[in-house]
């Protein structure tokens, strides 16, 4: 019985493998690449998305004006070959790549660029809320009619030259264009399938036909099908302007459960998956799987809520900083490739300060400072952390908590652990003052300093619970500096300012891990997840 069964499953797998025969790839290579994603995409229109699983798919279908230098977080030419920004930082003229077509045959030109910019700017109603257009709303400060809106106009100067004008300078403008949310989409397809017809009522928006089944971009893969809960399938785009690569078909299989993803890889049902648990990497490597680390573009921190009286005392904040042994934390519980953090941005980000004030591990000094602050008999603090969640910057919060609380107890701080499920946790940290020291972090979206420190310390919030108008002001000004160098120098000062203020302890820059079948020889692992599958190399 079992033998018959084996034979049957096996033969069907082989059918799948050789099913799409008309490929350019060498005939002995199975050109279907199967990746296990952790959920369905939230939709197929990246302009209406802000989650990693949607973007993972979008990056293969769509391209933006700006791309990313492979393996780094730096902006690079993509659909725009080059660009110039006026002295005042307001207008940027893009020279576009020629002979590029969308998957539906529509030529990519300056008109198409402006159609996309105008589309974002003119959203109204539910389309103009964070539940759909998170990135546009957040980075461009609103839509047509909003007084504060950053976008002014777009003009098609000639077929391959487009100029975008802003109402005030924005230093993150160019790097942010590498986000899939700002990818170029086919004007014809958007029109035909009503991309902006977010149907239903305001209270129950429905995606457009475009976002459900007809995404059209310029990327190396075209959309084939989406079976919700099961998979999304892409096919190679034969008229792609760039390198086609070996992969002819991409299947994103939805597997919610992390252990199930690992088992699917081990059984050969998928070729790879993301966010491998640190505890699994060694075993997978031993079993012959390729485990890769992205260069870290993350920050994990221990935050202080200054609504808590004890934490208002800078001496206490400094003491806790000295109590933390980052190296021990990293070797004990964080993935290989993780870097210790001295500030709240990774070192590749503009404005990283090499000489920033640091508070090295020194338990003796920590005890002294606590005594000086009047806590010689010990200090009691609530320590909040989330459970059953894995984030790129925080693969295993439970273990991180155990390691850190041990270090704190060491210097005489008594920790009251409070753990919550992820959404409850976020609600507690961001929506109330009812928390103490806590774990959180960030994965950079693109290479912009404001995308890190601006997000954390740009305004008064529940998470940190402090009011520091000086810092808020400095960040608001830095955000609008058009000159890269000047902005870098300013952000270096800000990073020092933050280090002096000690809002929390920057712990580490964890490196997210991916695991692949051994037939995957190379994968374009990217710190900002700019991973396009035409760059994958397969051996069999």
Residues within the interface to other proteins (CB under 8 A)? 2, 5-6, 8-9, 12-13, 15-17, 19, 39-40, 42-43, 50, 126, 129-131, 134, 138, 200, 202-207, 227-231, 233, 251, 253-257, 259-260, 263-264, 266-269, 391, 420-428, 430-431, 440-442, 455, 461-462
Distances (CA, A) of 390 to 368, 397, 450: 36, 7, 24
Judged by beta carbon, residue 79 or residue 233, the one nearer other proteins is 233
DSSP reduced 3-state for 350:
coil
Largest CA distance in the chain: 76
In 3D space, the residue among 51, 190, 59 whose CA is nearest the CA of residue 117 turns out to be: 190
Angle at 166 between CA 161 and CA 172, to 5 degrees: 95
Burial of 406 by CB count in 10 Å (0-12 exposed, 13-18 middle, 19+ buried)?
middle
Residue pair 93/163 in contact (Cβ under 8 Å)? The answer is: yes
Judged by beta carbon, residue 71 or residue 461, the one nearer other proteins is 461
Minimum distance from residue 404 beta carbon to other proteins (Å): 19
Judged by beta carbon, residue 40 or residue 280, the one nearer other proteins is 40
Minimum distance from residue 267 beta carbon to other proteins (Å): 5
Token look-up 């014809």 returns 188
Minimum distance from residue 508 beta carbon to other proteins (Å): 16
DSSP classification of residue 125: G
Kindly write down the DSSP assignment for every residue of 509-526, as one continuous string: EPPPEEEE-TTEEE----
Minimum distance from residue 56 beta carbon to other proteins (Å): 16
Judged by beta carbon, residue 34 or residue 538, the one nearer other proteins is 34
Distance in angstroms (rounded) separating the CA atoms of residues 504 and 437: 8
Judged by beta carbon, residue 65 or residue 211, the one nearer other proteins is 211
Quick one: CA dihedral 130, 132, 138, 144, positive or negative?
A: negative
Judged by beta carbon, residue 149 or residue 455, the one nearer other proteins is 455
Minimum distance from residue 79 beta carbon to other proteins (Å): 26
Minimum distance from residue 391 beta carbon to other proteins (Å): 8
Minimum distance from residue 452 beta carbon to other proteins (Å): 12
Minimum distance from residue 292 beta carbon to other proteins (Å): 21
Distance in angstroms (rounded) separating the CA atoms of residues 477 and 187: 36
DSSP classification of residue 141: T
Distance in angstroms (rounded) separating the CA atoms of residues 357 and 25: 53
Residue pair 385/300 in contact (Cβ under 8 Å)? The answer is: no
Minimum distance from residue 399 beta carbon to other proteins (Å): 20
Judged by beta carbon, residue 18 or residue 331, the one nearer other proteins is 18
Distance in angstroms (rounded) separating the CA atoms of residues 91 and 398: 48
Distance in angstroms (rounded) separating the CA atoms of residues 151 and 50: 20
Query: What pairing do the DSSP bridges indicate for beta strands 290-293 and 339-340?
Result: unpaired
DSSP reduced 3-state for 3:
helix
Minimum distance from residue 221 beta carbon to other proteins (Å): 16
Judged by beta carbon, residue 160 or residue 428, the one nearer other proteins is 428
Judged by beta carbon, residue 43 or residue 351, the one nearer other proteins is 43
Judged by beta carbon, residue 149 or residue 254, the one nearer other proteins is 254
Minimum distance from residue 352 beta carbon to other proteins (Å): 21
Minimum distance from residue 392 beta carbon to other proteins (Å): 11
Judged by beta carbon, residue 204 or residue 364, the one nearer other proteins is 204
Distance in angstroms (rounded) separating the CA atoms of residues 354 and 375: 33
Minimum distance from residue 254 beta carbon to other proteins (Å): 6
Judged by beta carbon, residue 243 or residue 288, the one nearer other proteins is 288
In 3D space, the residue among 394, 454, 464, 382 whose CA is nearest the CA of residue 422 turns out to be: 394
N residues, the chain? 540
Structure tokens at 396: 């295993």
DSSP classification of residue 242: S
Helix 278-286 and helix 258-266: axis angle, to 10°? 10
Judged by beta carbon, residue 299 or residue 366, the one nearer other proteins is 299
In 3D space, the residue among 262, 286, 284 whose CA is nearest the CA of residue 274 turns out to be: 262
b/e per residue 368-384 (b: at least 16 CB within 10 A): bbbeebebeeebebebb
């Amino acid at each position: 019985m079992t033998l018959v069964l084996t034979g049957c499953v096996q033969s069907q797998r082989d059918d799948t493998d050789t099913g799409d025969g008309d490929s350019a790839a060498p005939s002995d290579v199975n050109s279907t690449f199967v990746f296990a994603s952790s959920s369905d995409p939230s939709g197929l229109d990246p302009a209406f998305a802000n989650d990693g699983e949607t973007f993972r798919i979008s990056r293969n279908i769509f391209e933006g004006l700006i791309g990313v230098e492979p393996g780094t977080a730096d902006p690079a030419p993509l659909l725009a070959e080059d660009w110039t920004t006026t002295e005042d930082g307001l207008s940027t003229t893009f020279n576009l790549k020629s002979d590029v077509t969308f998957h539906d045959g529509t030529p990519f030109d300056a008109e198409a660029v402006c159609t996309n910019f105008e589309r974002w700017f003119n959203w109204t109603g539910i389309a103009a809320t964070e539940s759909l257009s998170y990135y546009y709303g957040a980075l461009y400060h609103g839509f047509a009619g909003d007084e504060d809106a950053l976008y002014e106009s777009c003009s098609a100067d000639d077929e391959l030259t487009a100029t975008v004008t802003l109402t005030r300078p924005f230093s993150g403008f160019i790097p942010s264009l590498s986000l899939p949310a700002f990818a170029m989409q086919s004007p014809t397809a958007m029109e035909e399938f009503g991309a902006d017809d977010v149907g239903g009522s305001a209270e129950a928006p429905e995606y457009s036909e475009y976002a459900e089944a007809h995404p059209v971009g310029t990327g190396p893969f075209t959309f084939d099908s989406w079976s919700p809960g099961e998979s999304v399938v892409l096919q190679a785009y034969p008229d792609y302007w760039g390198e086609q690569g070996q992969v002819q078909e991409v299947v994103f299989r939805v597997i919610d459960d992390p252990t199930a993803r690992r088992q699917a890889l081990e059984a050969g049902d998928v070729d790879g998956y993301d966010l491998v648990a640190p505890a699994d990497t060694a075993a997978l490597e031993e079993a012959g799987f390729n485990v890769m680390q992205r260069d870290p573009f993350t920050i994990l921190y221990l935050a202080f809520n200054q609504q808590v009286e004890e934490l208002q005392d800078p001496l206490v904040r400094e003491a806790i900083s000295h109590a933390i042994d980052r190296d021990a934390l990293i070797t004990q519980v964080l993935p290989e490739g993780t870097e210790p953090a001295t500030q709240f941005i990774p070192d590749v980000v503009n404005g990283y300060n090499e000489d920033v004030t640091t508070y090295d591990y020194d338990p003796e000094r920590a005890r002294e400072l606590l005594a000086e602050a009047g806590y010689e008999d010990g200090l009691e603090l609530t320590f909040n952390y989330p459970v059953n969640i894995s984030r790129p910057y925080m693969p295993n919060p439970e273990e991180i908590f155990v390691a850190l609380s041990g270090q704190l107890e060491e210097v005489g701080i008594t920790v009251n652990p409070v753990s919550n499920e992820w959404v409850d946790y976020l609600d507690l940290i961001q929506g109330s003052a009812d928390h103490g020291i806590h774990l959180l972090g960030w994965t950079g979206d693109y290479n912009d300093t404001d995308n890190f420190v601006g997000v954390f310390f740009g305004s008064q919030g529940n998470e940190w619970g402090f009011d520091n108008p000086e810092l808020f002001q400095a960040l608001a000004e830095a955000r609008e500096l058009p000159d890269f160098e000047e902005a870098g120098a300013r952000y270096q000062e800000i990073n020092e300012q933050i280090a002096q203020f000690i809002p929390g302890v920057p712990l580490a820059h964890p490196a997210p891990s991916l695991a692949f079948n051994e037939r995957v020889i190379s994968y374009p692992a990217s710190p900002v997840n700019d991973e396009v599958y035409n760059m994958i190399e397969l051996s069999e």
